Structure 1
């Protein structure tokens, strides 16, 4: 007897129809830590779990703490729109917008799921071949591997200590 399952049942990673309906319209939720390589031509394969969320295209931009943001198009537009609404009379917002948008580059992954990390952004984040991609909710961040390890080691110390300040209303 052949056990015929639906495609969703065969693929445990696929959300059920009910979950898909609930998630429709919400921004992607990018999670986890991945260690792809940047090749000699500056290309990096997007983590497989991010390809469906970022795979239609993304924007790379200068991030905070010398990382590179990987943003789905819709999320990039949302952030840029918020900054632009405040920028007319706010000098700090104008300056931030100039730096943020001048370093932004839209990308379409190739058939292998690779994107070109522009030299300007590789220089900004000191990216060599060893990199880390982390999911940070509605965006991913691309880090120099050594810089990420130092950052994480430094911040993990205070992780529990700042929970009450950052998450006062969230109960675990």
Structure 2
């Protein structure tokens, strides 16, 4: 399971060093793509294949489905970490997420999200404020 929060730096070549605890999970490859709220999603390759299969089941007659597919897949990039666990975040995704040097990487269970640290801090402050109220709607039985 991919969980936790990490604060790596983006190097001058646009590379992210994956947190050591996740490197084995991504050793066979990963897919980076646009995420909601202007972050970058990082899926293990096998997990992304499942996401893609679910997307294929969406009705072609739905404009919302077509739009989502286009945005997600047009920004997708296959990567294989190097021996040091580094992956290049393509310029199109760095621009999407407004990534500079300071990053926050969070594990969300089945994927990682890469955020500009300032953007993450603002998002988290807002999300944390409504955290208690969301439990019954988001996770039935947890509250």
TM-score of Structure 1 vs Structure 2, range by shorter chain: over 0.9
What is aligned with 2:115? 143
Tell me how far 1:87 sits from its aligned partner: 3.6
Aligned to 1:105: 77
Query: Secondary structure of 1:161's match?
Result: helix
- Contact kept, 8 Å, 1:43 with 1:116, in 2: the verdict is yes
> Do residues 80 (structure 1) and 52 (structure 2) align?
yes
Q: Could you tell me how far apart the structure 2 residues matched to 1:160 and 1:54 are?
A: 33
Q: Does 1:37 align with 2:4?
A: no
Higher RCO (CA-CA < 8 Å; seq separation 6+): 2
* Aligned equivalent of 2:135: 163
39-48 vs 161-170, which moves further:
161-170
User: In the TM superposition, what is the alpha-carbon distance from 1:92 to its structure 2 partner?
Assistant: 1.0
TM-score calculated relative to the size of structure 2: 0.96
Secondary structure at the counterpart of residue 115 of structure 2: strand
- Runs of at least 5 residues in structure 2 that lack an aligned partner in the other structure: none
Equivalent of 1:68, from 27, 30, 40?
A: 40
Measure, in 1, the Cα distance between the counterparts of 2:2 and 2:96.
23
Q: Which has the higher Rg, Structure 1 or Structure 2?
A: 1
Aligned with 1:155: secondary structure?
helix
Q: How many Å separate the matches in 2 of 1:84 and 1:164? A: 30
TM-score by length of 1: 0.80
1:154 partnered with 2:143: no
Instruction: For structure 1, list consecutive stretches of 5 or more residues without a partner in the other structure.
Output: 1-28
* Alpha-carbon offset, residue 55 of structure 1: 2.3
1:120 maps to 92
Aligned position for 1:23: none
Alignment of 1:51 with 2:23, yes or no, is yes
User: Could you tell me which residue of structure 2 aligns to residue 20 of structure 1?
Assistant: none
CA RMSD of aligned residues (A): 1.0
For structure 1, which segment, 80-89 or 110-119, has the greater mean C-alpha deviation from structure 2 after superposition? 80-89
Shift of 1:60: 0.0
Structure 1 stretches of 4+ moved >6 Å: none
Q: Distance in 2 between matches of 1:74 and 1:89?
A: 27
Considering fraction of residues, name the structure with more strand. Answer: 2
